[in-house]
Amino acid sequence: MFHIIIMKIQDTLKQIIKEELSEEIKASEAYSDHNSIKTIVDGKRDVAFIKATTYNYLMCKYYGLKVLKVKGGSNYIVYKKGAEDRANELLDIANKYGGFLHWEASDEDTRRIGQLLSYSESDIENHLKTRKKSDHSSSSETMESYFGNNKS
């Protein structure tokens, strides 16, 4: 009997640890630049894509985050120490699309962008489905803003 109780406690602890260490977020947690930075500071993910503003830059530096300027200069990729490879991969994809995480990105690139930003698989798949049905007349629309416009 005691052994069964110990096993149940161990299973519960494993589940709690798994949830706490999850490097996956709901896209809704990162709809604003402030919240995107907060998800890194809170340890929920290690890379974010934000607008290049002086305020955002100073906030990143205050929290000790690294900043990469994206092609065109209107966006930053922000990351914590140890996430250089993921940040550089995201930078390569953003630069491929003119400095944006653009809605015109291939399905493969879009899926990888979502993974690099630590979005949940369900949010990534939902985005892939809904973006094909939407009118994307704004040439400056980014994947981040599109995720924000399609809250589930």
Give 10-residue mean pLDDT values along the chain (152 residues).
69 53 68 91 93 94 95 92 96 88 83 91 86 57 48 38
In a domain, 5, yes or no: no
pLDDT at 11: 64
pLDDT for the residue 16: 53
Q: What is the pTM of this model?
A: 0.72
Residue 4 in any domain: the answer is no
**Residue 120, in any domain of the structure:** yes
The dihedral region occupied by 105, where left means phi > 0, alpha psi between -120 and 50, and beta the remainder, is: beta
In-domain check, residue 19: no
Structural domain boundaries, residue 103: 24-149
In a domain, 37, yes or no: yes
Residue 93 domain flag: yes
Who contacts 51 (Cβ-Cβ below 8 Å, separation ≥6)? Answer: 33, 74, 75, 76
Tell me, what's the pLDDT at 90? 95
Domain count, the chain: 1
